[in-house]
C-alpha cells in the first residue's frame, strides 16, 4: 500500500532559521526520484535548491511561492509504495520490495536515515482512486496542505472521521477551526467526498477577517463623516510604530537578503562605536602599474589584474602591519579577538541586493590570485549561486563604492568585523605634483573602524599606509 511521508524544510546551516519559497520545481502528482531537487528557496545568505530524500509521487505542497517558512516546517508530502494484492497487476506480492527509506544522505541538521519502508513503484493513476478503496486502518495521517487547490490524491484516515457528521480527518484542521471560531458544519469541503481540508478553513478565516475589516471600516467612515464635513483632513493612517504613513503606501517585507542586511547593519550601528577617517590619494602611478601589468606579453603575461585586486592586495599588506584592525570583539567575554588569517570580504551589488562574498586566506594570495577569486565569486553572486559558506567568515571588508560614480562615503562596518575600507571613484582632478599643478588620477579612501579595538593613531596609520601604496606602488615591494 502507499505510505505518505512528510518532507520538512531542513536546517540549511550557518544559523539560518527560515527560508522563502522562490520557485517550486515539482507539481502535485509529479513522480520524483530520491534526492531530486523539489523546491528553490532563498535564505538570508543564498539561493538553494532543496533535494527530497524520498522517491514517489508528490501528494501535497505546503506554501506558495513567496511564502516564508521556518526550518522544520513541512515542505511537501510524498506517497511512497503501491497498493498490494492486485491479481491483475502481474506483480508477485512476495517479491522483494524496493527500499524507500530515503537516500541516506544527511542534510545539515536533517537526517534521512529513518527505517526503510516497504514499497513498489507507484503510478500516478493509482492515487486517483477514492479514499474508500484504501485500507482505512493502515493509511497514515498526513497534514492538509496550505495550498488552496484541493489535494484529492492523498489517502488519509483517522479515528476522528467517525466523530459526528462533520467530514474532517485532520485534528490540525479541527484545532485551527476551533481557534478561529469557524463552524465546520457550515463549510463545504473541497476534498474527496466533501472532505474539509485546511485550505477550506484558511479560506473561511480569510473571508471572516475581510468581512470584519469591511464592517469596521464602514463603521469608522460613518463615525468620521460629520467631522470630515466640518474640516477636511489629510488621509493618513497610523502605522503600528506610530509613524504616519499614506493610506496607499506600499509595504515591503524585510526578509531574505534585504532582511539579513537590515539586521546586520542595525546590529552594527547598535553595538559598534565606529569612527571614520579619510584621505585623498594620487592613484596615477597605481593605474600606470596596472596598465603595465595587463600589457605584458611573453613569459611575464598573465590574466588581467583589476584595480580592486590591487587594492585588496594593499589591504592584506596593511593588515599585516596593523593587525588590530583584523579582529573582532567578544562582548560577553569582554575580549578583543585578534585573528591570524585575513578573509577579505568585498561588497557586491546584485539584483537580490547587497552581498559580501569572502576571499579565503587573502593574506596568502598575490594580486593575480585574489583577482581570479574575486571574479569567480562575483559571477556566482550575479547568478545567485553563492553558498552560505562563501558569504560568511570575513575578517575585513573592502567596499568599492566608486563603481556607483561617487567620491566618498562613511560605510557601516560589516558586523562582527572591526573595520572596512571604502574606495571612491578614480577621476582626473587638479593636484600638486612635484611642486607643480597637474591633472592627476585622484581617489578618496575612507576607513571606518571599531574604536574599541584601536585608537585613531592605529587607524590613521593603516589608512596612510594604504594611501602611500596607492601613490607609490613600489612601497609594496618591501612586503613581497
3-state secondary structure of 329: strand
Let me know: does 445 contact 466? Beta carbons within 8 Å: yes
Cα angle 187, 188, 194 (rounded to 5 degrees) comes to: 130
Q: Say if residue 355 is exposed, middle or buried (CB neighbours under 10 Å; 0-12, 13-18, 19+).
A: buried
Count, residues in the chain: 480
Mapped onto helix, strand or coil, the DSSP state of residue 217 is helix
What's the helix, strand, coil split of the chain in %, to 5?
35, 25, 40
How far is 281 from 310, CA to CA, in rounded Å?
A: 15
Distance CA(322)–CA(273), nearest Å, equals 19
Of 480, 478, 477, 469, nearest to 286 by C-alpha is: 469
Element spanning 264, H or E: helix 256-271
The residue whose grid cell reads 503510478 is: 123
Pick the catalytic residue: 158, 433, 455, 468? 455
Of the candidates 294, 321, 315, which has an alpha carbon nearest to the alpha carbon of residue 305?
A: 294
Residue 272, classed as helix, strand or coil, is coil
SS3 per residue for 2-62: CEEEEEECCCCCCCCCEEEEEEECCCCCCEECCCEEEEEEECCCCEEEEEECCCEEEEEEC
- Count the neighbouring beta carbons within 10 Å of the beta carbon of residue 257: 22
Among residues 28, 47, 25, the alpha carbon closest in space to that of 38 is found at: 25
- If 0-12 CB within 10 Å is exposed, 13-18 middle and 19+ buried, where does residue 377 land? buried
- Count of other CB atoms within 10 angstroms of residue 243: 7
For strand 74-80 and strand 56-61, is the pairing parallel, antiparallel, or unpaired?
antiparallel
The C-alpha cell at 164 is 459526528
* 451 labelled catalytic: yes
Quick check: helix, strand or coil at residue 258? helix
Catalytic choice (248, 343, 451, 468): 451
Cβ contacts of residue 215 below 8 Å, gap of 6+? Answer: none
User: Catalytic positions, please?
Assistant: 451, 455
Amino acid at each position: 500500500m502507499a505510505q505518505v511521508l512528510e518532507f520538512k524544510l531542513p536546517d540549511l546551516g550557518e544559523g539560518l532559521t527560515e527560508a522563502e519559497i522562490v520557485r517550486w520545481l515539482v507539481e502535485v502528482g509529479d513522480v520524483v526520484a530520491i534526492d531530486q531537487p523539489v523546491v528553490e528557496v532563498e535564505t538570508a545568505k543564498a539561493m538553494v535548491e532543496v533535494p527530497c530524500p524520498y522517491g514517489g509521487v508528490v501528494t501535497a505542497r505546503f506554501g506558495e511561492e513567496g511564502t516564508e517558512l521556518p526550518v522544520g516546517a513541512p515542505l511537501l508530502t510524498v506517497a511512497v509504495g503501491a497498493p498490494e494484492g492486485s491479481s491483475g497487476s502481474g506483480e508477485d506480492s512476495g517479491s522483494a520490495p524496493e527500499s524507500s527509506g530515503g537516500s541516506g544522505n544527511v542534510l545539515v541538521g536533517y537526517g534521512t536515515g529513518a527505517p526503510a519502508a516497504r514499497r513498489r513503484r507507484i503510478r500516478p493513476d493509482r492515487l486517483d482512486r477514492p479514499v474508500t478503496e484504501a485500507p482505512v486502518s493502515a493509511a497514515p495521517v498526513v497534514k492538509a496542505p496550505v495550498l488552496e487547490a484541493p489535494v484529492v490524491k492523498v489517502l488519509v484516515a483517522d479515528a476522528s472521521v467517525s466523530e459526528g457528521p462533520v467530514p474532517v480527518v485532520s485534528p490540525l484542521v479541527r484545532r485551527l477551526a476551533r481557534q478561529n471560531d469557524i463552524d465546520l458544519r457550515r463549510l463545504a469541503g473541497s476534498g474527496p467526498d466533501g472532505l474539509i481540508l485546511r485550505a477550506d478553513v484558511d479560506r473561511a478565516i480569510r473571508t471572516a477577517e475581510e468581512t470584519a475589516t469591511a464592517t469596521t471600516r464602514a463603521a469608522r467612515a460613518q463615525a468620521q463623516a460629520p467631522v470630515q464635513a466640518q474640516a477636511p483632513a489629510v488621509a493618513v493612517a497610523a502605522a503600528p510604530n506610530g509613524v504616519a504613513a499614506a493610506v496607499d503606501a506600499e509595504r515591503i517585507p524585510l526578509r531574505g537578503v534585504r532582511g539579513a542586511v537590515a539586521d546586520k547593519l542595525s546590529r552594527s550601528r547598535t553595538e559598534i562605536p565606529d569612527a571614520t577617517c579619510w584621505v585623498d590619494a594620487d592613484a596615477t602611478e597605481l593605474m600606470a602599474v596596472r596598465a603595465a601589468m595587463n600589457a605584458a606579453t611573453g613569459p611575464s603575461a598573465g590574466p588581467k589584474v583589476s584595480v580592486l585586486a590591487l587594492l585588496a592586495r594593499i589591504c592584506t599588506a596593511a593588515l599585516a602591519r596593523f593587525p588590530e584592525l583584523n579582529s573582532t570583539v567578544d562582548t560577553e567575554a569582554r575580549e578583543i579577538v585578534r585573528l591570524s588569517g585575513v578573509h577579505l570580504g568585498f561588497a557586491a551589488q546584485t539584483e537580490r541586493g547587497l552581498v559580501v562574498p569572502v576571499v579565503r586566506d587573502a593574506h596568502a594570495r598575490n594580486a593575480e590570485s585574489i583577482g581570479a577569486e574575486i571574479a569567480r565569486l562575483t559571477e556566482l553572486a550575479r547568478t545567485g549561486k553563492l553558498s552560505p559558506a562563501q558569504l560568511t567568515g570575513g575578517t575585513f571588508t573592502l567596499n568599492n563604492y566608486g563603481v556607483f560614480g561617487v567620491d566618498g562615503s562613511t560605510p557601516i562596518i560589516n558586523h562582527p568585523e572591526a573595520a572596512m575600507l571604502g574606495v571612491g571613484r578614480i577621476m582626473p582632478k587638479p593636484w600638486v605634483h612635484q611642486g607643480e599643478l597637474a591633472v592627476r588620477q585622484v581617489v578618496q579612501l575612507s576607513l571606518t573602524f571599531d574604536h574599541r579595538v584601536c585608537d585613531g593613531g592605529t587607524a590613521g596609520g593603516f589608512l596612510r599606509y594604504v594611501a602611500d601604496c596607492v601613490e607609490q606602488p613600489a612601497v609594496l615591494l618591501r612586503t613581497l
